[in-house]
Structure 1
Amino acid sequence: MEFNQETVKRIRGLIVFAALVVLCFWRYDIVLDGINFVIHVIYPFILGGAIAFVLNVPMNFFQRHLFNPDRIKGHKYLKKMARPVSMLLALCSVIGVIALVMLVLIPQLGDTFVNLGRNIQAFIPRLQEWATSIFRDNPDIVSWINGLEFNWNKIMDTGLSFFTRGAGDVLNSTITAARSIVSGLTTFFIAFVFAIYILLQKEKLTRQCKRVMFAFMKKGKAEATLEVLSLTYKTFSSFLTGQCVEAVILGSMFVVAMTVFRLPYALLVGVVIAFTALIPIFGAFIGCVIGAFLIFMVNPVQALGFVVLFLVLQQIEGNLIYPHVVGGSVGLPSIWVLAAVSIGGSLMGVVGMLIFIPIVSVVYALFREVVYLKLKQKKMEPDDIE
């Protein structure tokens, strides 16, 4: 082996890399603390990037439809105002949707909470009578069932005392609570300002990032990285748009269907299912459980009818609406969608369920391209392999 300058440089690099790996495993606690510190410092900017990504979808919609380049051609003032106005409309839309949902949901939740106590109090005697008729041959079970009591006022008093004690504990540590609130507000403010800056200057930031990449990376690697980033952006934005539209359609279907069949809590259950449907695969079933429980307290037969209605609408949504609305936006087979949701939920909870589908979709698309490229190098066509 010839020890020229290039070989010595590679060996030196490998030695340094191996030493760093050994050091990281040896003092992993310090490494983890350092990673946590870095994440804590850059967290507002990560959050700002996420906010900018979400707001960019409606902003692009408004800018594309209200300020079409062909329509405003020759109008310098409209070109200059297109981005700020579109961003303002996007912010107003998001805030308006949240405010509308809160205005609808909070009164419904209040009424539901009050009626739920009454319904449970009325339902317990019926449940005891039904259970007694089933277990009449077993006196021990019958006596236990008849001994059950439900005192809604006592439950309310217990809940209020719990929150009172919790509030007292918080008040005893006012400085800690104040620091947490101020820190949270500061983080959100920094993230929001950073998101606004990204949205207003995204073309300029894109050019700067490209220049840095081409300056410090080889041209081929820089171009490949840009292709991967472009694919990632398209996949995430398509998934986000399709999932939101699909959730709105599914929630509206439940509101209309439950109103037609005169099922209780139509609006509340529709809103809950619309929000939980943002979680792929499992989300709508969470809304089904909540809705079935609420209706069961009013009428068990109607709860059974709601479950049947849910299964029917879920089949319609899964076979007709979802393929057309979301469709191939992520281009991921069903088995890998299930795997992505399961892995994402295990690692990061609900957030993992949301982001792992587009992430796995990007990995799947890139791996497929590599496989096709390898087959072509071997002079084999993918369609010829069965």
Structure 2
Amino acid sequence: MTTYQITTELGANKKDKIEADQLGFGQVFTDHMFVMDYEEGKGWHNAKITAYQPLELSPAAMVFHYGQAVFEGLKAYATASGEVNLFRPDRNFKRLNASNDRLCIPKIDEAFALEALKELVRLDRDWIPTAPGTSLYIRPFIIATEPYLGVNPSKQYKFMIIMSPVGSYYKEGINPVKILVEQQYVRAVVGGTGEAKTAGNYASSLKGSELASQQGYSQTLWLDGKENKYVEEVGSMNIFFKIAGKVVTPALNGSILSGITRDSMINVLKSKNIPIEERAIEFAEIVEAAKNGTLEEAFGTGTAAVISPVGEFKWLEEVLTINDGQIGEVTQMLYDTLTSIQYGTMEDPFGWTIKL
């Protein structure tokens, strides 16, 4: 690990905390943030924790014009014993570097980034909510800051970490959501940026989400960008189906995000001896399973929502109801297991949590 020194500049004023029952998602931010600069020829430098504040950037900063922006999402959890748990943060910084590579952004020192994150969480520890189902959402991100309008990788960047106390991502909470299967637009293609966690992927998904919302659906299920028939992922989640006792999820093919919660769920399923298969899945197979009664459960997974059961898909003019719109047994087990590990109410047999 490269040796860096973090300068800490405490904010002069403490912001008022929000009551747990008023917490939404990503609307309130803690007192401090982490910032680090990059300059070609100098590398990453000037690491500091400072008061949460607006950025001052040139209108020509390259992030505004060519979209060099990557980010991550993870959480800190308050445990009943008074400790704080981080859940697999090393995987987040490893994935951030994979996104960096795809977007021609200089890689960060993953071990140092984790230490910076820990220091920031310790400093703003009193922002971690303790009510059931709440947590501190953590957003590391990197943006291109060089003021230049040529189409090249930037020579200057900022790496930042901000944090936000949050409640449930979906208003439905752990209750099943309704998903619209997108037919007109595509999110990503193999060889594109679909497997990177970059801002542009989410920008291109907004239209589908808007159309889904207009029809009363919470999210969009994206199909592949080439043949428009293979299941890829939901707007903010990876997707799983339980068909005739076996759980299946789309294989990582280069256009699907390698979800850390996805990987965690697969490991839990294997530990419970529940059959799990990663493969290409035609949505026509899901339709057939719904019609013949073998589609038993469906659920999405992601850091923000943890797990979100799906009670209904709409595909073309067909509405497919799953498990009578109720949460399934396996979905409930996965939610209970993962959240119990995250909040420290059960032993962590996988070694995923880091205690602060």
TM-score for both structures, normalised by structure 2: 0.22
Q: Which has the higher strand share?
A: 2
Q: Which has the higher helix share?
A: 1
TM-score for both structures, normalised by structure 1: 0.21
Greater RCO (CA < 8 Å, at least 6 residues apart): 2
Rg comparison, structure with higher value: 1
